[in-house]
Amino acid sequence: MRNNLGSERQTAARAMPAALVLAALSLLFTPARAEDPAKPACEMPSDMLATEMVLPKAADEVKSSHRLDVTVVGSGSSTLAGPDGASAAYPARLEYYLGQKLSGITVHIATDLHMRQSAEDVAQGFGKLVKDGKPSLVIWQTGTVDALRSIDPDDFRGALGEGIAALKEAGADVVLMNPQYNPRMETVLSVNTYLDNIRVAAQEKDVPLFDRFSLMRQWSDAGDFDFSVTTRSLTQARSVHDCLGRALADFVVAAAHLGPEQPQDSSKDSNKDSNKDSNKDPNKDQK
């Protein structure tokens, strides 16, 4: 209650050594990273690739016309740089893995990428998108641009809700996909706010959420990938996108109940070991 007014000035001087001490101590705890660039495998945790939501229109299309038309709507993180970047990015990998899983079904994945556009801007074109491309499923990768531009969280959630409604009304199922995991991201952006709003929007509108963020964090925790490396090489990026494509294929097959065996068992081929706290909700303030 009654402090010395002068003492605040010391805050700055004292905080710096404090951080240094913390940094020095932390060095003691630096573990060796399990980094094996040749290892292509990444965990496919079954609990993260299962969903209670369903994709009836996609399931219908597969059953009635033996086709599956998917459009991936996204931003920069849905593609890769380089001349063959697009073919190594997760939408193309998804097409490959879905084709493998669904024998006798023609799988076609289109992409509709909007660099640097917020969810609200992207959602403007949804009616036309479904009308023109006639996808039975739209995978909407979103959140990164909005987080980078600090779009108001309520506006963001509103845009998600309207976008999902527009897609459904135009006749497509929807899967939401959240931003990529990056260990440094949280230090500069309130990523959690956007993750929460995506989760809430998915829950409110009854659409499955492909939790790319948690999945990648799990790969990072398990040592499959070290996302903090600074590199110009595309090796890791390609490998991550391959894993994402495979995980997404599992997810779509599970949600649309397209598995070869019992529909309930569709995620059977996934790995058994699963991380316990990966599904936990980081922050529900926005609910």
Partner 1 sequence: MSKSMSIDAAAMQAGKRVAAPALAFPVAVGERELRLDLFRGLALWLIFIDHLPTSLLTWFTIRNYGFSDATEIFIFISGYTGAFVYARAMADRGVIIASARIFKRVWQIYAAHILLFTAYLAEISYVATRFENPLYAEEMNVLDFFKQPDVTIIQALLLKFRPVNMDVLPLYIVLMAFLPLILLLMRRKPDFTLLLSVGLYIATWEFDLTLPAYPDGYWYFNPFAWQLLFVFGAWCALGGAVRMSRLMSSKITLGVAAVYLFFSFCVTLTWYIPKLDFLMPLWLEGIIYPIDKTDLDILRFAHFLALAVLTVYFVPRGSPFLQSKWLRPMIVCGQNSLEIFCIGVFLAFAGHFIMAEYNGGAWMHFFITVAGIFIMWATAWTITWYKGVVEKSGSKQSSANADLVGGGP
| Residues 123-152 close enough to bind partner 1 by CB under 8 A | 144-145, 148-152
> What is the DSSP annotation of 231-244?
---SHHHHHHHHHH
Q: Which of the residues 247 through 276 are near partner 1 (CB under 8 A)?
A: none
| Cβ neighbours of 266 (radius 10 Å) | 24
Q: Smaller CB distance to partner 1: residue 60 or 186?
A: 186
Candidate residues 46, 75, 136, 266; the one interacting with partner 1 per rule CB under 8 A: 75
Compute the least distance from the CB of residue 189 to partner 1, in Å: 6
The single-letter DSSP state of residue 270 is S
Contacts of 227 (CB under 8 A, 6+ apart): 181, 182, 183, 216, 220
CA distance 194 to 153: 7
Segment contacting partner 1 by CB under 8 A, of 128-136, 183-191, 249-257, 262-270: 183-191
How far apart are CB 75 and partner 1 at their closest, in Å? 6
Cβ proximity to partner 1, 71 vs 144, nearer residue: 144
Residue 166 binding partner 1, by CB under 8 A: no
**67 near partner 1, judged by CB under 8 A:** no
Handedness of CA 131, 132, 137, 139 (dihedral sign): negative
Site for partner 1 in 95-124 (CB under 8 A): 115-116
**Contact flag: residue 53 with partner 1 (CB under 8 A):** no
> Residue 257 CB, nearest distance to partner 1 (Å)?
20
Q: How many CB atoms neighbour CB 155 within 10 A?
A: 14
Q: Which is nearer to partner 1, 168 or 238 (CB)?
A: 238
Give Cβ neighbours of residue 112 (< 8 Å, ≥ 6 apart): 71, 72, 73, 74, 125, 129, 133
**Could you say whether residue 12 binds partner 1 (CB under 8 A)?**
yes
User: What are residue 111's phi and psi, to 5 degrees?
Assistant: -120, 145
Nearest distance, CB of residue 276 and partner 1, angstroms: 11
* Piece of the chain touching partner 1 by CB under 8 A; list 58-66, 94-102, 226-234, 248-256: 226-234
Give the count of alpha carbons within 13 A of 148, CB side only.
14
Residue of the chain from 60, 84, 169, 186 that contacts partner 1 (CB under 8 A) = 186
Burial (CB < 10 A; 0-12, 13-18, 19+), residue 117, is: middle
The whole-angstrom distance between residue 28's C-alpha and the CA centroid of its chain comes to 33
The DSSP secondary-structure symbol of 265 reads G
Of the residues 221, 260, 268, 271, which one makes contact with partner 1 according to CB under 8 A:
221
Span from 101-109, 168-176, 188-196, 249-257 in contact with partner 1 (CB under 8 A): 188-196
Pick between residue 41 and residue 229 the one whose CB is nearest to partner 1.
229
